[in-house]
Each structure stands twice: as structure tokens, then as C-alpha cells.
RNA sequence: GCCGAAAUGGUGGAAUGGCAGACGCGACGGACUCAAAAUCCGUUGAUGGCAACAUCGUGUGGGUUCAAGUCCCACUUUCGGCACCA
């Protein structure tokens, strides 16, 4: 009898061995194929690791360990995305410096990660708040600035009065601050933007060849939101003046049905007709109202359309020559298209609603719907009517015909637009990368000299935010005041810092050469590691981080820093672990599971096993504390196999099938079924009563990526000290996957009636013979048809 | 409103169109024990039947097929994303 399984003891032993001997350290090695596996590096919060992290990291951990056993040279790194608000807020609350808080949190994370036995190359650890790191974040920003892709612009921004910080659109969805949940207000501010819209088309097209989960592609496509249409010029007449008003439409085919025109309340056209507009006071009131409405109300709460007719001006339809009235309404947004639309109520739901409310004419130009009841969109179906030369055409034909006609007349041009907005790239907070720009009264915005990077974040005693939405850095006059690198005159530094998305937009490159002081990424290292082979992360980051980092990589490709336009070849996503109550884990719900507690009770291997066994990896699954026992029992059973090792006939246990299943399932992230297969195989082994050493070794190796401690220990014990990580991933014998004799179901008229045992390659006649012999179901029956699928089923249709 | 994913026992979840419920949890019965825990063995979709067995059963209603959880059509609900995007 061997000693009992003691996870605490063996896990400590193996972790010490791995980390002290740097077993997972990696260097470029041309003699071996490379594999670069990436996980989203964590934000080191004070709360420490969460079981969700474990699940998120475990897929690439398993794949990386498997790849090593398969002979690959594996880069599997870890780092910390450590700039950001929570740390800063916590630091303010506890009166510590964010640097101290960050360092402590990182230490805590590292201890926890090591206690789980992850096979990271710890020597490559990076930290976005490290000067040697953010030097290069700033360097990339400078290149963007020099290429005209970073600009400052006055706009209304989402401002959180609680966090006192300007938020990106994506951080203030539904008009609520992502961080604190308070209501966001609109504030005018000078803000840095990155011209990500310039890359919209390439970001969209680049998706085609990538092995990203389909739903990730779809979300990115929706986020980018490309629409193809045309800009059409209407002429506004009033008070003897003419004004060319350009509207944006995706449906030029419906122009014969345009019965009015709507401009956004902010549209400059209104002001230019100030003198000729009869109801200008009313219009001004409406503009004021629209301005007061927060974005949230305007978009989400305004169930009913509102608007005002602009008296004294009319618009001329460039195709029909007809005069139509002009309205202003806040359902038209200034920041999309041209801020003006031609309204076709018969074929657009919003225009329909507006026309009904203000009793405007509705002209049907596409047959097929019932415009008495509702607008008929008819994107793919329907035939044009009441539309001059378009009559009789289908909608797609009419779109092409009208676009060409407008172009010929010179009143319209094809135009694509994107929903995605430029990336608001700054925060008025302390704990972020300083923006390396100097404002000179003579020379304007001047980039810092690259030689002077990093621009170090000054040590600050009081870094709490200011009430006037300016950065705490503006208080450090000795830091702010500097000289202009161009003219040498007195100048001031930019005091805003970069958003948290900055550091994470290029971290996958830094891992390739984490300590290189001369390059963003060392060219030799890049040449070897190239693209990330497989990136796993959360669905919550596929529209922001994943697009932002693809954008930065494309830019670095354009300026010759990297040689691949796309950073990630494959991207998968894990499902959330929900609380035992089926709700998302959160402190406020008090349903958070701390991995330390699980390790304490069951050990790290059980934790690793359970987070992967809990359900389909790509779907969310609730944490069931009772079910952990099953995983613990299984590891005990695995351990106790040592008591029944015996050489013998290997029949009855299909180890080849098990290897194949595990091999395939790992590659498609079906860890739950891979584990189930191994459990079944172990059950079969106990049923048989003994395990052969060769079977046992194979089992240990295929399980090693998931439960490395116990498998390392058993392997060492049964093989006189041999190390499992030096072994080869087992192959399986194709010919042994299928059995020679099979038990197949017998159906009569599609209903299960019994089973027969036949050779896997038995003929139809043999199978039918076997049915006759072993069952009496065919007696007195008239056979009409026999369906026989070799090795699968026999179904007899009979009366 | 638009786009996407999903719905299977008491429960988490398995099923290239071919035995629905693998594997795990729980429950029940038994062994071991003074007892409990741990462990081991057995049972466990529902209904009827002593039983062999029969009937029903994968959100709802239709359809295709020798055969449907799986494919097609029409719905319902839940979750995620986008959203007066012209």
C-alpha cells in the first residue's frame, strides 16, 4: 500500500521544483517549432485572484503544457495591467501611494498564481506601470501623433461627477459610469483622440482570415458598424438664399418617397438661415431642450419622436425637383452621417413614426408591405413603384441604378460610414501613463524628444482628482513647466494621462523581449515569436481591448516595427463562472468564491480540474461547491491506481480511444468531456482490476496539463524518479479505436426492440440473420425495408 | 427594434441525423463501523405492471426522414451584444 494522496505536500514540492529550476523558462530556439499562447493579463486588484481568473487562465495553461510535451518551444507569459482607477481610488481611500498599492497587489497575485502551479515563464513578467514598460507605450503614442493619428479636439464628453473623470463611450454605456454606477453628465472638454476610424475598413477586412470565434467576429463587425450608402445633396431655399445640404442615406432607391427632410438640432444650416426662419424662437427653444437632454435620455427614454418644422425654408429634392418641408428633430444625430437625413416615412420606421405624429404625407415607393399599418423596410424584397425610371426594379437593382444616376447628375456620391467613433484617449487622473506632449505658446503641440522617454510620472503626495475635471498632474508646477524642444522657450506639459486601454494594446509584443531598452520589441525576438498563436480571454474585451490592440498592431505594421498586420491568429473565449445562486459573482451579492479556500480544502489540482470540468468551457456555468468532491474523489482514485499496477493483457480498456478523445477535446477547449473520458477510462480500469504501467504512464501524461502536481508525483514514484515534463505526448493506434465486435441496437419501425452483437464490418445479410436468431421480432412480419448502418444500427421496416 | 447564442432528469451537463441522459453531484438501498465520516457495491427520466414488458419523454406547434435533442418552417422564454446609426 502506497502512502495516501496528500495534495498539500506534493503541490508545494513540485511548485518549488518548477520555479527554482525555471522549468518553464523559454528562449528563442530555431531547432524547435514555436508556440505562443496568451491569456489576458490581469488587473492586480486588492481583492486578489478570483475563480473566474483560474478558469480564464487554465485553457492556455493546458494547451501550453500539452504543446511542451508535444515538443514545441512554448512562450506562455504573465504580466499585470496595473494602471487604472480602482487602484488609484483605493490608494486615496487608504492614504497610500498607488505605487505601493500596486506592488503589494502584484505580490499577492504572484503568490496566488504560483500556488496554482501555472507554467508561466516568470522571468518575462511585465507590469504596465513600470517605467521601462510605459516608456514604450509613450513611444507608440508619439509615433501615432507624428503620423497625425492622435489629435486634440473639443467635444462633449461623458463626465462622471463621482469619479471626476472623462469616460469613453464604452465606459459609460446606458448613461451610467462603468466604475461607480453614478449618472454621467455631458461636459465640453479638450480631449485627445486616436483616429481608429482611419483603420475601420482594415479592422473589418482583417477579420476574414483570422481564426476567431465566430461570435467574436460578429461583435467586432457590429462594433465597427460599417454601412454603405450615399451622400445626396438637397438644396435648401429661403429668403432668397440657397444652401447645399448634404444628407446621408443607405437607401437612395427610396428618394421618390422622401416627403420631408430632418436635420439634427446642432446642424449649422439652421443658424445660416437665422434671418429667414419664421419660428426661429421656437427652433432655438428646441435646440436648448435637446442640449439639456443627456445622451441617455435622447437615445433611450425618448420613446416618442419630437421635432419642429422650420418655417420659411424648403428643400428641393434633386431627383424629383419637388419642394419638401424641413424639420429639426433630435432623433437625428450630428455625429453620424452628415447630421441630416431625407425622411422616407413609407420605408423607415423612425420616419414613419414622425410622419404619423406630424401628419406628413407618406408615399409608397416599394410594393409589398402595408404602409397603412407600418413602414415597410424591404431591404431584399419588393418592387419599386411611383419612382420614375426605377419602377419595376428590385430594391438592390434600384439602389445601384439610383446611385449611378445621382453620380451622373453630380448630386450624390457613394459613401460608407462607420458607427465606431474615434478612440477618446485620455483621463484626467494620476495613475496612468503621462502623455508625452508639450504645449508651447509659439509652436503649439510639440512631441517630446524620444530620447527623453520615459516621461516619468512624478511622485505626488496628493493625487486626488480635481473638481474642475483637470488632471491632478496640473498641480505639480515644477513638472508641468518645461521648455519647448523646438524653440527652447517656456512651455507646459500635457497633464492628462492615458486611458487604461493603452498599456494593454501592445503587451503581447513586450513579452517577446521584456527587458529590451532599445526597442518596443526586439526584432530578432519578434522574428522568432511573430504572432500570438492562440489568445484566450473574456467576451467582455472583444470590442474594446481586442479592437484597440489590433489597431495598434496594424499601425506598428505600417511604420515597420512589426511584420504582421494582425497580432493574434486565433482567439477563443471562456464562459463566466457564476455564483452558486446562478448570478454573476460580485462582492455585493456575496457569492464570490476565493480560490485560496478551495486550495486549502482540496488542493490546487482539484481547483484546476474542477474549473475545467464544471461545464462547457465557452459557456458560463454556476459554481456548485458540492460537485468539487467528485473531482477530489477522482484524483484519489487516480492516486490509488498505484496499488493495482500489474502487467497483463490490456484488453477491455481502450486507452487509445481515451488518448484520442483527450487530444481532440483539448484542441477544441472541450475540457469537460476530455475529463469525463478519463474518468470513464479509470472506472473501466477499476472494473478490470488492474492497470498496466504503460497505460498508467499515458494516462498521467494526458492528464498532466490539467493536474500537473499529482501526475508529476505519481510519474516520479512509478518510474524511479523520472520527470514527467520530459516525456512525450502519447500517440494512439488508429486501428485500435474501433472494436471488432459491436453491440448494435435493433429497431423495428424506428422503435428500439433489442440489441445484437455482430462484427463491426458485418454485411446486411449477416446482421439480419443475427436479428432473426437472437430476437423473435420478425416472426409473422412482412419486411418492407431494412436500413443497416455498419457498426451503428439496424432498422427494419415491417408490417 | 436589429444581430447572436441557448432551452435536455432533482442538479451541472453529454450525445459526426442512428441506443437520449455519457461523466460528475445529489438522493435512495446495502457492505464496513459501537457509531459517524471516508471508502466500496447497487438503484436512480416519468407513468402503468409482481414481472417480462408497454406507453410517454430533449421549451411550444407544424414539417422532412426508415430514423430528429440534432435538419426545415412558425412561435415562446432566457442570456449576451448593438441601438433613433439614417
Residue A643 CA to B35 C1' — how many Å?
Answer: 30
Residue A579 CA to B76 C1' — how many Å?
Answer: 27
* Rounded CA separation A76/A61 (Å): 8
Q: Residue A503: is its pLDDT beyond 90?
A: yes
Q: pLDDT (tens digit, 9 = 90+) per residue, A111-152?
A: 999 999 999 999 999 999 999 999 999 999 999 999 999 999
What SS3 state is found at A124? helix
Rg (CA), chain A: 33
Nucleic strand B under 7 Å from the C-beta of A333: yes
Nucleic strand B under 7 Å from the C-beta of A310: no
What Å distances lie between residue A262 and A330, A353, A371, A412, A532, CA to CA? 9, 13, 21, 18, 48
Give residue A255's pLDDT: 95
* Rounded CA separation A413/A397 (Å): 17
Residue A621 CA to B7 C1' — how many Å?
Answer: 15
Nucleic strand B under 7 Å from the C-beta of A103: no
Residue numbers in A 680-739, CB below 7 Å of strand B = 680, 683, 686
Mean confidence (pLDDT) of chain A = 90
Task: Give how far the C-alpha of residue A368 lies from the chain's centroid of Cα atoms, to the nearest Å.
Answer: 40
* Candidate from A157-161, A191-195, A261-265 with smallest mean pLDDT: A157-161
What Å distances lie between residue A246 and A275, A346, A477, CA to CA? 21, 21, 48
Give residue A2's pLDDT: 63
**A745: pLDDT confidence band, cut at 50, 70 and 90?**
confident
* Rounded CA separation A213/A666 (Å): 16
What SS3 state is found at A123? helix
* Rounded CA separation A628/A143 (Å): 51
Residue A413 and residue A231 in contact, taking contact as beta carbons nearer than 8 Å: yes
Residue A342 and residue A250 in contact, taking contact as beta carbons nearer than 8 Å: no
The DSSP bridge pattern shows strands A577-578 and A570-574 to be unpaired
- Those residues whose C-beta lies under 8 Å from the C-beta of residue A720, and which sit 6 or more positions away, are none
* Rounded CA separation A614/A52 (Å): 12
Residue A402 CA to B82 C1' — how many Å?
Answer: 29
**A761: pLDDT confidence band, cut at 50, 70 and 90?**
confident
Q: pLDDT (tens digit, 9 = 90+) per residue, A14-42?
A: 999 999 999 999 999 999 999 999 999 99
Residue A18, beta-bridge partner list: none
Nucleic strand B under 7 Å from the C-beta of A386: no
| Alpha-carbon dihedral angle through residues A351, A356, A358, A364, given to the nearest 10 degrees | 60
Give residue A758's pLDDT: 83
Q: What end-to-end distance do the CA atoms of chain A give, in Å?
A: 62
Q: Of residues A785 and A716, which shows the higher confidence score?
A: A716
Residue A95 CA to B2 C1' — how many Å?
Answer: 48
- The nucleotide lying nearest A742 (C-alpha to C1') is B19
SS3 content of chain A, % helix, strand, coil (to 5): 40, 20, 40
Give residue A547's pLDDT: 95
For A298, which DSSP code?
I
pTM comes to: 0.93
Q: What is the mean pLDDT of residues A476-483?
A: 93
Residue A299 CA to B1 C1' — how many Å?
Answer: 13
- Those residues whose C-beta lies under 8 Å from the C-beta of residue A139, and which sit 6 or more positions away, are A450, A453, A520
| A501: nearest Cα among A535, A464, A552 | A552
Chain B nucleotides with an atom closer than 7 Å to a protein C-beta: 1, 3-5, 11-16, 18-20, 22-26, 38-41, 54-55, 66-68, 80-86
Give residue A459's pLDDT: 87
Q: pLDDT (tens digit, 9 = 90+) per residue, A618-630?
A: 999 999 888 999 9
- Residue A444 backbone zone (phi > 0: left; psi -120 to 50: alpha; other: beta): left
**A175: pLDDT confidence band, cut at 50, 70 and 90?**
low
Q: pLDDT (tens digit, 9 = 90+) per residue, A634-680?
A: 999 999 999 999 887 767 789 999 999 999 999 999 999 999 999 99
Beta-carbon count within 10 A of A605 CB: 28
Residue given cell 520530459 in the structure block: A726
- Residue A164 backbone zone (phi > 0: left; psi -120 to 50: alpha; other: beta): left
Q: pLDDT (tens digit, 9 = 90+) per residue, A253-284?
A: 999 999 999 999 999 999 999 889 999 999 99
- The nucleotide lying nearest A610 (C-alpha to C1') is B24
Residue A402 CA to B46 C1' — how many Å?
Answer: 64
Q: What percent of chain A has pLDDT over 90?
A: 68
**A178: pLDDT confidence band, cut at 50, 70 and 90?**
low
**A297: pLDDT confidence band, cut at 50, 70 and 90?**
low
Grid cell in block for residue A187: 461636459
Grid cell in block for residue A77: 507569459
Nucleic strand B under 7 Å from the C-beta of A154: no
Residue A573 CA to B82 C1' — how many Å?
Answer: 19
- The nucleotide lying nearest A339 (C-alpha to C1') is B86
Give residue A312's pLDDT: 93
Q: pLDDT (tens digit, 9 = 90+) per residue, A481-498?
A: 999 999 999 999 999 999
Q: Residue A300: is its pLDDT beyond 70?
A: no
Residue numbers in A 410-439, CB below 7 Å of strand B = 417, 419
The DSSP bridge pattern shows strands A783-789 and A241-249 to be unpaired
Residue A476 CA to B63 C1' — how many Å?
Answer: 75
Sheet of strand A490-493, all strands in order from the earlier edge strand to the far edge = A444-447, A437-440, A490-493, A481-483
Nucleic strand B under 7 Å from the C-beta of A751: yes
Grid cell in block for residue A234: 438637397
φ, ψ of residue A475 to 5 degrees: the values are: -80, -15
Half-sphere exposure of A182 (CA within 13 A, CB side): 10
Nucleic strand B under 7 Å from the C-beta of A749: yes
Give residue A737's pLDDT: 81
Give residue A298's pLDDT: 56
* Rounded CA separation A584/A592 (Å): 9
Nucleic strand B under 7 Å from the C-beta of A789: yes
Q: pLDDT (tens digit, 9 = 90+) per residue, A57-112?
A: 999 999 999 999 999 999 999 999 999 888 888 888 888 999 999 999 999 999 99
Residue A217 CA to B82 C1' — how many Å?
Answer: 13
Residue A592 CA to B70 C1' — how many Å?
Answer: 36
Residue numbers in A 219-248, CB below 7 Å of strand B = 219, 222-223, 225, 227, 229, 248
Nucleic strand B under 7 Å from the C-beta of A760: no
Amino acid at each position: 500500500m502506497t502512502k495516501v494522496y496528500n495534495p498539500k505536500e506534493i503541490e508545494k514540492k513540485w511548485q518549488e521544483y518548477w520555479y527554482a529550476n525555471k522549468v518553464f523558462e523559454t528562449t528563442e530556439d530555431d531547432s524547435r517549432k514555436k508556440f505562443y499562447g496568451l491569456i489576458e493579463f490581469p488587473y492586480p486588484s486588492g481583492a486578489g485572484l478570483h475563480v473566474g481568473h483560474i478558469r480564464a487562465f487554465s485553457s492556455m495553461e493546458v494547451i501550453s503544457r500539452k504543446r511542451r510535451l508535444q515538443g514545441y518551444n512554448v512562450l506562455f507569459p504573465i504580466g499585470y495591467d496595473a494602471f487604472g482607477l480602482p487602484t488609484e481610488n483605493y490608494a486615496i481611500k487608504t492614504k497610500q501611494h498607488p505605487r505601493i498599492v500596486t506592488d503589494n497587489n502584484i505580490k499577492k497575485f504572484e503568490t496566488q498564481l504560483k500556488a496554482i502551479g501555472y507554467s508561466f515563464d516568470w522571468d518575462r513578467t511585465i507590469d504596465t506601470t513600470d517605467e521601462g514598460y510605459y516608456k514604450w507605450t509613450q513611444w507608440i503614442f508619439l509615433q501615432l501623433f507624428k503620423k497625425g493619428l492622435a489629435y486634440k479636439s473639443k467635444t462633449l464628453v461623458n463626465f462622471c461627477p463621482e469619479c471626476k473623470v472623462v469616460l469613453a463611450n464604452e465606459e459609460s454605456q446606458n448613461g451610467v459610469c462603468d466604475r461607480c454606477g453614478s449618472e454621467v453628465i455631458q461636459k465640453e472638454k479638450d480631449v485627445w483622440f486616436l483616429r481608429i476610424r482611419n483603420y475601420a475598413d482594415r479592422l473589418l477586412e482583417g477579420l476574414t482570415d483570422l481564426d476567431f470565434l465566430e461570435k467574436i467576429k460578429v461583435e467586432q463587425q457590429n462594433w465597427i458598424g460599417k454601412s454603405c450608402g450615399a451622400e445626396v445633396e438637397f438644396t435648401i431655399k429661403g429668403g432668397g438664399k440657397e444652401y447645399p445640404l448634404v444628407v446621408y442615406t443607405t437607401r437612395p432607391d427610396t428618394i421618390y418617397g422622401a416627403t420631408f427632410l430632418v436635420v439634427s438640432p446642432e446642424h449649422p444650416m439652421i443658424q445660416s438661415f437665422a434671418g429667414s426662419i419664421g419660428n426661429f424662437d421656437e427652433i432655438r427653444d428646441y435646440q436648448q431642450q435637446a442640449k439639456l437632454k443627456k445622451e441617455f435620455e435622447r437615445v433611450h427614454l425618448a420613446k416618442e419622436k419630437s421635432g419642429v418644422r422650420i418655417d420659411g425654408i424648403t428643400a428641393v429634392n434633386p431627383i424629383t425637383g419637388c419642394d419638401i418641408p424641413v424639420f429639426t428633430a433630435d432623433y437625428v444625430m450630428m455625429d453620424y452621417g452628415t447630421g441630416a437625413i431625407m425622411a422616407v416615412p413609407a420605408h423607415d420606421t423612425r420616419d414613419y413614426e414622425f410622419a404619423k405624429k406630424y401628419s406628413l404625407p407618406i408615399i409608397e415607393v416599394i410594393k409589398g408591405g402595408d404602409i397603412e399599418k407600418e413602414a415597410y423596410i424591404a431591404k431584399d424584397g419588393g418592387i419599386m413603384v411611383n419612382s420614375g425610371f426605377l419602377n419595376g426594379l428590385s430594391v438592390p437593382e434600384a439602389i445601384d441604378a439610383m446611385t449611378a444616376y445621382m453620380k451622373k447628375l453630380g448630386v450624390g456620391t457613394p459613401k460608407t460610414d462607420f458607427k465606431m467613433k474615434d478612440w477618446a484617449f485620455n483621463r484626467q487622473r494620476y495613475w496612468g501613463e503621462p502623455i508625452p506632449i508639450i504645449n508651447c505658446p509659439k509652436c503649439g503641440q510639440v512631441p517630446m524628444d524620444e530620447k527623453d522617454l520615459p516621461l516619468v510620472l512624478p511622485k505626488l503626495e496628493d493625487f486626488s482628482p480635481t473638481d474642475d475635471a483637470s488632471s491632478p498632474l496640473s498641480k505639480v508646477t515644477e513638472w508641468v513647466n518645461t521648455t519647448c524642444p523646438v524653440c527652447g522657450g517656456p512651455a507646459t506639459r500635457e497633464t492628462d494621462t492615458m486611458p487604461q486601454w493603452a498599456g494593454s494594446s501592445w503587451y503581447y509584443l513586450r513579452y517577446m523581449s521584456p527587458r529590451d531598452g532599445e526597442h518596443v520589441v526586439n526584432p530578432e525576438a519578434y522574428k522568432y515569436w511573430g504572432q500570438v498563436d492562440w489568445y484566450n480571454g473574456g467576451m467582455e474585451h472583444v470590442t474594446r481591448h481586442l479592437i484597440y490592440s489590433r489597431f495598434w498592431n496594424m499601425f506598428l505594421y505600417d511604420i515597420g516595427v512589426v511584420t504582421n498586420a494582425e497580432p493574434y491568429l486565433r482567439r477563443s473565449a471562456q464562459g463566466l463562472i457564476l455564483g452558486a445562486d446562478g448570478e454573476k459573482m460580485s462582492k455585493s451579492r456575496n457569492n464570490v468564491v476565493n480560490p485560496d479556500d478551495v486550495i486549502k480544502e482540496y488542493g490546487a489540482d482539484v481547483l484546476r480540474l474542477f474549473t475545467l470540468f464544471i461545464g462547457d468551457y465557452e459557456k458560463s456555468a454556476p459554481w456548485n461547491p458540492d460537485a468539487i468532491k467528485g473531482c477530489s474523489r477522482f484524483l484519489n482514485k487516480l492516486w490509488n491506481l498505484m496499488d493495482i499496477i500489474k502487467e497483463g493483457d490490456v484488453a477491455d480498456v481502450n486507452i487509445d480511444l481515451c488518448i484520442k478523445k483527450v487530444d481532440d477535446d483539448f484542441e477544441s477547449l472541450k475540457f469537460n468531456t476530455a475529463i469525463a473520458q478519463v474518468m470513464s477510462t479509470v472506472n473501466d480500469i477499476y472494473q478490470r482490476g488492474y492497470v498496466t504501467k504503460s497505460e498508467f504512464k499515458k494516462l498521467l501524461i494526458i492528464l498532466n496539463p490539467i493536474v500537473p502536481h499529482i501526475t508529476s508525483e505519481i510519474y516520479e514514484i512509478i518510474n524511479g524518479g523520472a520527470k514527467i515534463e520530459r516525456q512525450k505526448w502519447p500517440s494512439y493506434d488508429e486501428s485500435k479505436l474501433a472494436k471488432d465486435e459491436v453491440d448494435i441496437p435493433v429497431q423495428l419501425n424506428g422503435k428500439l426492440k433489442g440489441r445484437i452483437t455482430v462484427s463491426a464490418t458485418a454485411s446486411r445479410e449477416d446482421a439480419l440473420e443475427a436479428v432473426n436468431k437472437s430476437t423473435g421480432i420478425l416472426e409473422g412480419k412482412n419486411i418492407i425495408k431494412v436500413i443497416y448502418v455498419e457498426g451503428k444500427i439496424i432498422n427494419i421496416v415491417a408490417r
